[in-house]
């Protein structure tokens, strides 16, 4: 269970500290990799500052089920649309000509980095960054999930120290909380709240409801939103993202992948640190490619008929174990797609199947996927599944099965 509960104490300096505890890891001794242990301090209310989490009777939690009764209404869809518009604007050479970009060259990881210089008054901002590279032997949907699954993203996005989903609107759209790592004493860590969204386009540029074999382009974007219930922290500076994201375009047997992004860091930072950050973030594309080559693609849900409401998926790089918690929304079949070329060459072992809806779930081998069929009796119930790689013959155990 990855729910963070809170206890509040008051220090002598008048600061209230909110401690976040993972309820499951406190018993198991191991926490999901994307839920790094957090101890967050927030300013106590004063006559000049609005009340924050310390005075809120309902404490802030990163929920284990961010859509417990089905996907929630997305009140921030207009923010997602703005981020898509900014991406279209900066990547359209007719709107943003190439001579406006400052070319930083192609690095030894094969990533071409450039940026649109920030305006003089944007003293706390980064430049608008762009990174471009090619990732071979991957489909757009595979690369999407390497970015979208937060626990896998922590492997290659070195600036993110912790991340969580606050509220979920669809498989690919949700409110998030990120913590960005600092750099020594000169650059404090940052945190940010925002909304993620996705869109899918076919070869003719027509938008699709879901990705399919005809999907030619996928855009995954982020934009900051203000969430009053999520506190600004004492140890970190609250940053904001006007727009950021990845464009994934099918090209031959692989994909061209482009990163764009700009952040308001909340404080002025030295020029040398600004240059470091502006080179580092676009070059995450090179680390993404290396992660795919080293690990493969993490298991991901393919649910064309909306049978499941995905709550939480965690990938453990040390063991290649994956856990999925979901809510059954209708009877039917969906799949957990497996990278049998790189990650699970010998198949997988289902090591745990639990939850109220587990008895209504039927599992079948689908070669490169684990097919999961929900019976009508399972609708409205939640289930939890855990898989591990089949790297050796198992001991006889009637509570698990080979797939």
| Domains of the chain and CATH, by start | 4-55 (no CATH), 77-295 (3.30.530.20), 300-402 (2.60.40)
Token pair for 114: 């450039």
By the 8 A CB rule, do 231 and 53 touch? yes
Higher pLDDT, 331 or 45: 331
Q: What angle do CA 376, 378, 381 make, to 5 degrees?
A: 140
Q: What's 110's DSSP letter?
A: S
What is the pLDDT, as a whole number, of residue 360? Answer: 95
Asked if residues 193 and 177 have their Cβ atoms less than 8 Å apart, the reply is yes
Tokens of 113: 């980095």
Task: Please say whether the beta carbons of 176 and 34 come within 8 A.
Answer: no
Q: What is the pLDDT of residue 377?
A: 96
What is the secondary structure of 304-349 as a DSSP string? TT--EEEEEEEEETTTTEEEEEEEE-SSEEEEEE--TTTT-TT-EE
Please check the confidence at residue 199 and state whether its pLDDT lies above 50: yes
386 token code pair: 């855990």
| pTM > 0.85 | no
Nearest by Cα to 218 from 116, 138, 280, 298: 138
pLDDT digits (tens, 9 = 90+) for 51-77: 333 334 455 678 889 999 899 999 999
Q: Smallest Cα–Cα separation from 37: which of 54, 46, 53, 25?
A: 25
| Share of residues in the chain with pLDDT > 90 (%) | 74
Mean pLDDT of the chain: 84
Q: What confidence tens digit (pLDDT) does each residue in 267-317 have?
A: 999 999 999 999 999 999 999 999 999 999 999 999 999 999 999 999 999
Query: Which of 328, 335, 294 has its CA nearest to residue 311?
Result: 328
- Supply 258's token pair: 């482009």
Dist CA 279 CA 327 (whole Å): 41
Q: Which residue has the tokens 């990174």?
A: 131
pLDDT in tens, 368-388: 999 999 999 999 999 999 999
Res 252: pLDDT: 95
Q: Kindly state the tokens that stand for 14.
A: 């008048």
Instruction: Tell me which residue of 322, 346, 320, 353 sits closest to 336, measured CA to CA.
Output: 322
Nearest to 104 by CA among 330, 275, 218, 328: 275
- Coil, strand or helix at 25: helix
| Residue 149 scores a pLDDT above 70 | yes
Classified as helix, coil or strand, 395 is coil
Taking residues 151-170, report their average pLDDT: 94
Confidence of residue 392 (pLDDT cuts 50, 70, 90): low
Q: What span, in angstroms and rounded, lies between the C-alpha atoms of 338 and 63?
A: 27
169 CB-near residues (< 8 Å, 6+ apart): 67, 71, 72, 73, 74
**pLDDT, average across residues 164-187:** 92
Residue 88 to residue 41: CA distance in whole angstroms: 38
Instruction: Report the residue count for the chain.
Output: 403
Give mean pLDDT, residues 203-216.
93
């Amino acid at each position: 269970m990855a729910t963070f509960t809170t206890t509040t104490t008051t220090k002598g300096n008048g600061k209230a500290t909110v401690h976040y505890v993972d309820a499951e890891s406190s018993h198991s001794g191991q926490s999901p990799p994307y839920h790094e242990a957090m101890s967050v301090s927030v300013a106590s209310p004063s006559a000049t500052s609005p009340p924050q989490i310390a005075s809120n009777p309902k404490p802030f939690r990163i929920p284990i089920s961010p859509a417990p009764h089905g996907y929630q209404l997305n009140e921030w869809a207009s923010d997602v649309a703005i981020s898509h518009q900014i991406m279209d604007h900066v990547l359209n050479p007719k709107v943003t000509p190439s001579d406006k970009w400052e070319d930083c060259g192609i690095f030894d990881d094969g990533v071409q980095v450039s940026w649109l210089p920030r305006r003089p008054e944007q003293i706390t901002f980064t430049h608008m960054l762009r990174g471009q590279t090619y990732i071979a032997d991957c489909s757009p949907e595979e690369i999407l999930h390497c970015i979208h699954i937060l626990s896998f993203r922590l492997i290659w996005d070195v600036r993110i120290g912790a991340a969580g989903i606050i509220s979920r609107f669809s498989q690919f759209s949700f409110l998030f909380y990120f913590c960005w790592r600092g750099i020594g004493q000169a650059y404090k860590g940052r945190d940010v709240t925002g909304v993620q969204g996705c869109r899918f386009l076919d070869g003719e540029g027509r938008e699709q409801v879901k990705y399919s074999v005809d999907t030619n382009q996928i855009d995954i974007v982020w934009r900051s939103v203000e969430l009053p219930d999520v506190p600004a922290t004492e140890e970190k500076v609250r940053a904001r993202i006007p727009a950021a994201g990845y464009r994934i375009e099918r090209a031959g047997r692989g994909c061209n992948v482009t990163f764009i992004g700009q952040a308001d860091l909340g404080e002025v930072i030295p020029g040398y640190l600004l240059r470091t950050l502006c080179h580092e973030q676009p070059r995450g594309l090179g680390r993404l490619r290396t992660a795919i080559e080293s690990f493969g693609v993490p298991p991901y849900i393919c649910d064309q008929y909306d049978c499941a409401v995905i709550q939480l998926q965690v990938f453990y790089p040390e063991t290649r174990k994956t856990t999925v918690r979901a809510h059954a929304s209708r009877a039917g079949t969906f799949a957990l797609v497996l990278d049998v070329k790189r990650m699970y060459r010998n198949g997988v072992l289902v090591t745990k199947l639990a939850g109220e809806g587990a008895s209504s779930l039927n599992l079948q081998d689908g070669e490169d996927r684990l097919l999961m069929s929900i019976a009508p009796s399972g609708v409205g119930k939640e289930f939890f599944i855990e898989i591990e790689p089949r790297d050796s013959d198992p001991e006889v155990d009637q509570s698990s099965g080979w797939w």
